[in-house]
Structure 1
């Protein structure tokens, strides 16, 4: 099968803010003549609701124009990427939030010079599979992320995979967090994943603590 279609529903809360979204992604794969490598092309569309619970804001904000604006905004955005892989090496580059939808909450404030928006994200990834035993692979990986008006981010990690039925790994984002991850294939088309994140300062000030847990359930459609 040379094409794939995926959909996501998500909700994320950070302090007084929350994000609800739906995302649709499509990919198409082109194999080389010798079947030893593959090129993947992908696009995605996303609808996002960004909301602020003003009851959680402190009085210290005073006359902040944000308090007079709407508490919820909806944006539409898109992304695209390209990915190349063979039996051992995989590399990719992708860009998200290409439209850069505006999310302006401060209404009627003449001193606001620039509207809030979803800035573009550029990601570069790479990983390499090292066979360490029968059906056991060690997979070091790295990712770089570049965002306008924000510091660049760099992730490094290593995963251990057994027959694509069980995997575990450790990842580190420089100056931000460590992440322990594990997953298991419950059924042929169902995977259960878990991650435990340990945050470094100053991000734990905004996360409400120094750690986080995440459980995921993945379904694969019949090919």
Structure 2
């Protein structure tokens, strides 16, 4: 039964993501992706025995006017002993005169493969609101009908995401697909300017990680992980990360991103329930000459189940 269900889940995501259109990347970026698993993969919701909330702020390419800024709030937890997890996400992405708000609800169901391994199947659904302030756009021809005839407005589009999350006591792996509905969010209806860029592009994510002790007294842990993202218009982007945990309190790590970026990161478990994290992206690509690096700050709070033996933030 479990084998058939797992095969069906893989087939479902595969069929949902066969067809792509050439579009630009639209999902916000997170360098501390291991603290944002539910955003990447709906199957993660409720897989830890605690109610967890995470607030993140990311300022990208800070020296470039109108550069991307992302604020996100995520809350999730298990539903007692029913093998279900629930969660909610709010994300605000800002880029120049454009802002995009996402309101998403999450449900997952956990299946016990054996006493050490679980499989979680998740779905995520909600609305995305796109807003643009046309008067903030500077154009050479102020009477360009694409800008001159437009009024500030909001457009709401449905969004649907699915994910499979497999995990044990010290490792995890998952695959997910986002924006399956490819909803329209064009700003200029009925004009010749409407294009494929007015559609939400499907994204495929694959990620995995493991943690293991480096010392006999378990005072130092090593946690390698990776995240891969694919869409047809931009190809494959991947992050390869190594983190170290000292005395179950202090994190220190680095990431290499194949889009010519390196990332330094740190986190501190202020209390067993509160974690504060920070990352600094150094762009070695075309924006290097502008000195345009990125900052990301994260704070997480957890209501823990005291019966839990391993700190869930370790994986």
TM-score (norm 1): 0.83
Match in the other structure for 2:270: 186
Match in the other structure for 1:11: 92
Match in the other structure for 2:132: 52
Structure 1 residues 47 and 215 mapped into 2: Cα distance closer, same or farther (>3 Å)?
same
CA shift for structure 1 position 156 = 1.0
Cα deviation code 1:1-56 (max 9, x no counterpart): 543322222222222222222222223322333x2222122221232222222233
Instruction: Compare relative contact order (CA 8 Å, sep 6+) and give the higher one, 1 or 2.
Output: 2
For the residues of structure 2 that align with 1:101 and 1:203, how far apart are their CA atoms?
31
Task: Give the SS at the match of 2:191.
Answer: coil
Cα deviation code 1:68-109 (max 9, x no counterpart): 345432222011111112344422101111111111112331
Structure 1 residues 193 and 113 mapped into 2: Cα distance closer, same or farther (>3 Å)?
closer
Match of residue 241, structure 2, among 140, 157, 165: 157
Q: How does 1:34-113 map to 2 (within 5 A)?
A: 35-60=115-140, 63=144, 65=146, 68-69=149-150, 71=152, 72-110=154-192, 112-113=194-195
Cα deviation code 1:109-157 (max 9, x no counterpart): 1364546111111011122323212142211112221113222212111
Query: 2:229–2:237: 8 Å Cα contact kept in structure 1?
Result: yes
Structure 1 residues 61 and 105 mapped into 2: Cα distance closer, same or farther (>3 Å)?
farther
1:20 aligns with 2:104: no
Q: Which runs of 5+ in 1 are unaligned?
A: none
Task: Give the SS at the match of 1:65.
Answer: helix
Task: Give the SS at the match of 2:235.
Answer: coil
RMSD: 2.7
CA shift for structure 1 position 187 = 3.3
TM-score (norm 2): 0.61
Structure 1 residues 175 and 115 mapped into 2: Cα distance closer, same or farther (>3 Å)?
closer
CA shift for structure 1 position 65 = 2.4
Structure 1 residues 129 and 111 mapped into 2: Cα distance closer, same or farther (>3 Å)?
closer
Task: Give the SS at the match of 1:118.
Answer: coil
